[in-house]
Chain A
């Protein structure tokens, strides 16, 4: 069974440029998460989808970040414009269930460097 797929794995951009990350969850997993992981820190939730509905986006900086999950399968996270402080690893995860006992399966992440 294929795991969570993320692309690109690495991205280097100039500040003020836009950037987009793509995630394909495990087949059949209806819940999808985007996390931000700063160096030396644990993942922090940005947004959680149940199918195509964003059910928790309270931590997403909506002035510059946006996300979509069309058709309830793969998802895109966008930053426009990027700032220096956005340099981090962006993790995507998926789970079969919606409750907090559900095990999350993580992709390898996209490491973003903003210059």
Chain B
């Protein structure tokens, strides 16, 4: 069975600093991996997804994530945080050939001025 673990329920960075949100997954077969963002009072929206093409995936708003099979990780990064990046971020995993997507518990990102 697949699972996903997000390390750190809360992350705080200063504006302009590097953003690093950690995600590790467990999967017996090649996975699809996603990062979604949820702004207050809004639904989740896709930031980026990995589907076995390039291991470095670029998403919207300057975010990117790197698939590392040896580390079973899919960490989300952004070189320079902006106040508007403050939100909750969810990592998700689903299996090739399967039908269910499993979401992590989420990491709330705080950006300090």
Interface positions of A (Cβ within 8 A of B): 3-4, 40-45, 48, 55-56, 91, 93, 98-101, 103-109
Q: Which residues of A contact B51 (CB under 8 A)?
A: 101
Assuming the A-B contacts A43-B44, A107-B43, A108-B42, are A98 and B106 also in contact, with contact meaning beta carbons closer than 8 angstroms in the complex?
A: no
The answer to whether B99 and A106 have CB atoms under 8 Å apart is no
Cα–Cα distance between A45 and B101 once the two chains are bound (Å): 8
Interface contact B105-A100, CB-CB below 8 Å: no
Cβ of A100 and Cβ of B43 under 8 Å apart? no
Minimum CB–CB distance for A14 against chain B, Å:
25
| Segment touching A, from B12-20, B68-76, B77-85, B89-97 | B89-97
Q: CA separation between A108 and B41, bound complex, in Å?
A: 6
Contacts of B44 in A (CB 8 A): 43, 91, 93, 104, 106
B42 and A101 within 8 A (CB): no
Interface flag for B46 (CB, 8 Å): yes
- Provide the residues of chain B in CB contact with A43, threshold 8 Å: 44, 90, 103
Shortest CB distance B62–A (Å): 19
Partner-A contacts on B (CB < 8 A): 9, 32, 34, 36, 41-46, 49, 51, 90, 92, 94-101, 103-106
Within 8 Å by CB of B43, from A4, A40, A48, A103, lies A4
Q: Can you report 5 residue pairs joining A to B where beta carbons are below 8 Å apart? A: A45-B100, A93-B43, A100-B96, A104-B44, A104-B101
Judging by beta carbons under 8 Å apart, are A41 and B105 in contact?
Answer: yes
Task: Judge whether A41 and B106 touch: CB under 8 Å.
Answer: yes
Beta-carbon contact of B99 and A56 below 8 Å: yes
The verdict on A91 contacting B9 (CB below 8 Å), with A42-B90, A100-B100 known, is no
Which chain B residue shows the least CB distance to A95?
Answer: B101
Instruction: For A93, list chain B residues within 8 Å (CB).
Output: 43-44
